[in-house]
Structure 1
Amino acid sequence: MSSIIGNMSLMKKILGGFLLTSLITLFVGGMGFWSITGSINSVKDVVRNDLHLLETSEELEILALTLRRYEKDMFLNIGKPEKQQEYLQKFKNVSEKTIKTLDAAIAIATAEGHMPQETKAAIRKAEKAYQQYVSGFLLVATKVLAGEYLTPQDANDKMNSNKENIYLFEEGISLLATEARKLIDGATDDLIVAGEKTIVGIGIIILLGVITSIIIGATLSWMISKPVAEAVAFAKKIATGDLSNTITTTRGDEIGDFLRALDEMSQQLKNTIQTVVSSVETMKHSSADLTSISSELTVDSQETTGRSESVSASAEEMSSSIRAIAAAMEQSSTNVSMVATATEEMSSTINEIAENAERARSISGTAVTQAASASEAMSNLGKAAHEISSVTTVITEISEQTNLLALNATIEAARAGDAGKGFAVVASEIKELAKQTAGATMNIKSKIQDMQATTELTVSQINSVVQVINNVSEIINTMATAVEEQSSATREITLNISQVSDGIQEVNENVSQTSTVAATISHDIAQVSQSTSQVLSGSEVVGQRAKGLSELAEQLRNIILHFKLA
């Protein structure tokens, strides 16, 4: 695995690291989106089914109390046919509304998958009991209108056997309302638990993402800095003249190519110096032979050619030294050109790293935008919950108005005396029902507030994710800045090397001109020496050249000793 990664290019390594980080970020965002979508669907289910079922059940309880009120009102008005017909018609109207509402409640309860079968059976039983109650009441009402029962007590006695049905109906409706409240409470609890699990999951994934990013960053830094440090150490040894070392690598990326090129340059320089050493030894032996011959010739002509010999020797020595300097400067120019080429290649590699860092910075910016979209979606969820809270406020106000109406009805019943006792009972039941409605509304409001708090906490966690991504983006920016600084330094080095190369070329031209001047001087001295014998002239030339060769060989030998070849 390590060899595969080592052979990958720097661009692929960096892109792979940032791709893994982006996948972690995308997973965190997807998990948050999935949780938010589930929460929204849960709220919709509560509003569409459970809350509607609770409202329908409470409406049925109110309608049942209304039917019982009209029943008592009709019996209390025996002897008043018009009043009886009025209350009978009201009873029928409420009964029709009750049937429609009951059918709607049964449809919702049947479609609700979480509704217990016992409750569904109870509501079916309540429907049958209600039908029997209505049929029994209409039968008694017909007999009352026909004058068979002359007192309210007689009519109530006939209804006693039928009241069990209305009680059974009320029990079924009350059970349905209780189950609806349980479903709402269960859905709210599930929503809270899901939110907590989402927070924990996102936190764990964020922690893993941070750890992964640190590991990736440290690994990439180690894989880049370690071979670069080895190359620097190797180059320093070459700079001190130590050519005995080699550098080996199995990497297949740009850094591996750089290390192999550096090693190849070292080997070529080593071979060149070894060739020079061999040539210096040959030159040394040749110069020794020439010196011996020149000494034999000079002994015979030393007295007559002393002054000319001295001047000629000096000119020849200067000319030989200049030629040696020109050769050394030419070699230096070649080496500087090779270094310039290697530096340009390294600058190109650093530019590629800078481009990849810029791409990574763009990817981090995209991740921040996606996390901001998730935060905005959570804010919309909070607004929706706030609107639901407004609905509960309206229900609370209706409950308070119902309570006030019940109080007014109680006062009116008290004014009516014995005739209003039945109405007082109905008013008391309405007041109690209003209290229950207010309590249930407050309970729903509390649950919605909890859901709002959970939504705000989730928004806060998503903002934390945005902060983490921003931190990663800052690290990438720092890397890009460092690479840009390294690129600038490399360009400056390249420029300096180019200037050095130009300077060496200029020195070569000056040395060439000096060599020409020295040759002219030697030519003039040779013309002066023509007055002497050809033997003396030849011996001087041979002697000085041999001496120059010997000195040059010694100089080259001292220079080569600076290098360590093995």
Structure 2
Amino acid sequence: MKYIDDMRTRSKLVTAFVILALFTGAVGGIGIFGMKTIEDAETRMYEKTAVPLEELGVVLFHLTTLRTGYLQITYNPDASIENTVAGISGAKKIIEENITEYAQTILSAEDERLMNEMRAAYDKYVVFGETVTDLVRQNRRAEAIALGNTSPPIVSSLMTAVDKLLELNIKAAKEISGSNDAQARTLIVVLIAVVAVAMVLAILLGLFIASSIAKPLGKGVEFARAVADGDLTRRIDVARKDEVGDLTEALNQASGNLRAMFKQVHEGVQTLSSASTELSTISRQMSQAAESTSARANGVAAASEQTNTNMGGVSAAMEQASTNLATVAAASEEMTATISEIASNAEKARNVTSGAVESARQVSGTMDTLSVAAREIGKVTEAISAISSQTNLLALNATIEAARAGAAGKGFAVVANEIKELARQTASATEDIKSRIEGIQSSAGAAVGDIGSVADVIRQVNEIVTGIAAAIEEQSVATRDIASNVAQASQGVEDANRNIAEASQAIGSMAQDVTEVNQASGEIASSSAQVLVSAEDLSKLSEQLRVLVERFKI
């Protein structure tokens, strides 16, 4: 049965029809053979019984003619001898021809013996007749009559021989007819048996082939209904190598492929959900970092304003000191006070610039953290983009597998289209997030550069203020010998004035840079809020995908 189940459906049908054709040919062959046999038997019966009976009948008929002629010659003086003899001669000729033909159809030794007896009796009767005819022609009628009275035994022996031959041939005809009837009955029985076997075999073959096709197809229908209801764990247990086996194997492969794809989609949905959650967390951290950066930038701006104000006071004092150098001797006490004030302001400036350096360093570190977070978000968006591309590819594969499954895969095609649309929306949202993250990275990079510039300027200011403090200290020492060092003090005042102007300009630039940092922080906060919204949309999409995937049992 396994070998038959593994046969191709075409081979099964061809084999069944060949077997039926062979039985049909056997029925036809047996019928033709039987008809030929009966025809031969009928021909044999005709040749061996009907023809001899006909010949014996002719002999018997003309023996009567012969006997009547001899009786007329013997007992009827008015009869024409010549005419009667002519009739007798014709009858004798026919009798002898039929006896000769009969001799060619002898069936048995008994037939031959009886034919010889008939021949001898006939010859004896012919001699009797010729003798009577000669006596009558010699006008010896009385002797002819006397001789004629002795003819009954001769005639009786002749007729007895003919009757026996007739009985023998009739018996042979009955035997041949019985044999023909037996052959006909046997042929009918054989034909009925062959036809019955052919019919039973045709019914069995039809039932077997129908069962071998209908049963696995029924399992296939149950499988298709289960898959249409979302059960992708079902399989068709049909181990065959025919077209039905190929179909069930293809359905099993399609179900396995769909199950694998939905598992991948399910894993991708989990990854997408985790990524969207992580993206939301990172966007909140970015927003908080941007707010912190903005607050620190505001502090740096305020410190810069204060430093700039102080630098203005220092510059005015230095100008006054330069103007009053001509009257150094008279204004030494005022200069000492002024120098003390300058030293105090320089110390304040140094403290402010030190705080500004520390604030700039903290802002720079925050912006570095923000840049790293932006790169991490970029990686997350790339992963989301890859997941959406894989989801779209899986949806396309699902559409192809559904198309292969035909009518049973229409449900998969609808789900695959929904997954494809969700993958497209995911890709669009991811691309939007990616573009916003790139904007954040660009702004963060610019902010880091600006803050670096601000830090450099603040460090320069710090160095200048330190130099100013040192110069003031030198001036404080030089007041003990002010006369000899007036020229040097004048030059120092000019240098200090120039350095203060540069410091004031640098602090103004730093204030502008801090303002730009503050603006960049605001933009980062705004972009982080947009990223958070996009992450929430992405989370909703992942939830929709999860609901769709959970409709299927994998």
Query: Structures share a fold, TM > 0.5?
Result: yes
Higher radius of gyration, 1 or 2: 2
Of 182, 196, 199, the match for 1:210 = 199
Distance in structure 1 (CA, Å) of the matches to 2:536 and 2:425: 21
2:42 maps to 1:43? yes
Structure 1 SS opposite 2:104: helix
Distance in structure 1 (CA, Å) of the matches to 2:537 and 2:384: 8
2:119 maps to 1:127? yes
> 1:42: how far off?
2.9
Of 254, 263, 288, the match for 1:265 = 254
- Mean Cα deviation higher: 215-224 or 205-214: 205-214
2:59 maps to 1:60? yes
Matches within 5 A, 1:400-415: none
Of 155, 173, 190, the match for 1:201 = 190
Matches within 5 A, 1:288-303: 288-299=277-288
Distance in structure 1 (CA, Å) of the matches to 2:33 and 2:257: 64
> 1:279: how far off?
3.6
> 1:124: how far off?
0.6
Distance in structure 1 (CA, Å) of the matches to 2:285 and 2:233: 44
2:107 maps to 1:118? no
For the structure 1 residues 289 and 325, does the alpha-carbon distance in structure 2 shift closer, same or farther, using more than 3 Å as the test?
A: closer
Instruction: Report what 1:412 is aligned to.
Output: none
> 1:325: how far off?
8.4
Distance in structure 2 (CA, Å) of the matches to 1:102 and 1:544: 131
For the structure 1 residues 164 and 538, does the alpha-carbon distance in structure 2 shift closer, same or farther, using more than 3 Å as the test?
A: same
Instruction: Report what 1:141 is aligned to.
Output: 133
2:100 maps to 1:103? yes
Distance in structure 2 (CA, Å) of the matches to 1:509 and 1:552: 9
Structure 2 SS opposite 1:98: helix
Q: Deviations over 1:54-102 (max 9, x none)?
A: 1211111122222222222112245x7x933443444344323322222
Q: Identify the structure with bigger relative contact order (alpha carbons < 8 Å, sequence gap 6+).
A: 1
For the structure 1 residues 292 and 86, does the alpha-carbon distance in structure 2 shift closer, same or farther, using more than 3 Å as the test?
A: closer
**Residue pair 1:324, 1:552 contacting (<8 A) in 2 also:** no
For the structure 1 residues 553 and 179, does the alpha-carbon distance in structure 2 shift closer, same or farther, using more than 3 Å as the test?
A: same
Q: Deviations over 1:11-48 (max 9, x none)?
A: 11111111122222222222222222233333333333
List alignment gaps of at least 5 residues for structure 2.
295-382, 443-517
> 1:243: how far off?
2.6
Distance in structure 2 (CA, Å) of the matches to 1:502 and 1:246: 21
Q: Deviations over 1:457-513 (max 9, x none)?
A: xxxxxxxxxxxxxxxxxxxxxxxxxxxxxxxxx7xx89x899979988996999699
Of 221, 234, 243, the match for 1:245 = 234
Structure 2 SS opposite 1:43: helix
For the structure 1 residues 289 and 103, does the alpha-carbon distance in structure 2 shift closer, same or farther, using more than 3 Å as the test?
A: closer
For the structure 1 residues 292 and 150, does the alpha-carbon distance in structure 2 shift closer, same or farther, using more than 3 Å as the test?
A: closer
Matches within 5 A, 1:422-441: none
Percent identity between matched residues is: 20
Instruction: Report what 1:336 is aligned to.
Output: 399
Letter paired with 1:540 = A
Distance in structure 2 (CA, Å) of the matches to 1:266 and 1:520: 36
Distance in structure 1 (CA, Å) of the matches to 2:416 and 2:264: 27
Distance in structure 2 (CA, Å) of the matches to 1:123 and 1:534: 143
Q: Deviations over 1:500-531 (max 9, x none)?
A: 799889969996998699789979x999x978
TM-score (norm 2): 0.59
Distance in structure 1 (CA, Å) of the matches to 2:400 and 2:415: 7
> 1:334: how far off?
2.6
- Mean Cα deviation higher: 95-104 or 3-12: 95-104
Q: Deviations over 1:126-173 (max 9, x none)?
A: 1012112222332343344334x352xx42322444542332111111
Matches within 5 A, 1:416-427: none
Instruction: Report what 1:537 is aligned to.
Output: 526
- How many residues are matched? 393
Matches within 5 A, 1:378-393: none
For the structure 1 residues 497 and 237, does the alpha-carbon distance in structure 2 shift closer, same or farther, using more than 3 Å as the test?
A: closer
Instruction: Report what 2:145 is aligned to.
Output: 156
**Residue pair 1:137, 1:162 contacting (<8 A) in 2 also:** no
**Residue pair 2:388, 2:426 contacting (<8 A) in 1 also:** no
**Residue pair 2:31, 2:191 contacting (<8 A) in 1 also:** yes
**Residue pair 1:322, 1:511 contacting (<8 A) in 2 also:** no
Distance in structure 2 (CA, Å) of the matches to 1:228 and 1:246: 13
Of 81, 84, 99, the match for 2:81 = 84
Instruction: Report what 2:162 is aligned to.
Output: 173
For the structure 1 residues 189 and 65, does the alpha-carbon distance in structure 2 shift closer, same or farther, using more than 3 Å as the test?
A: same
**Residue pair 1:329, 1:504 contacting (<8 A) in 2 also:** no
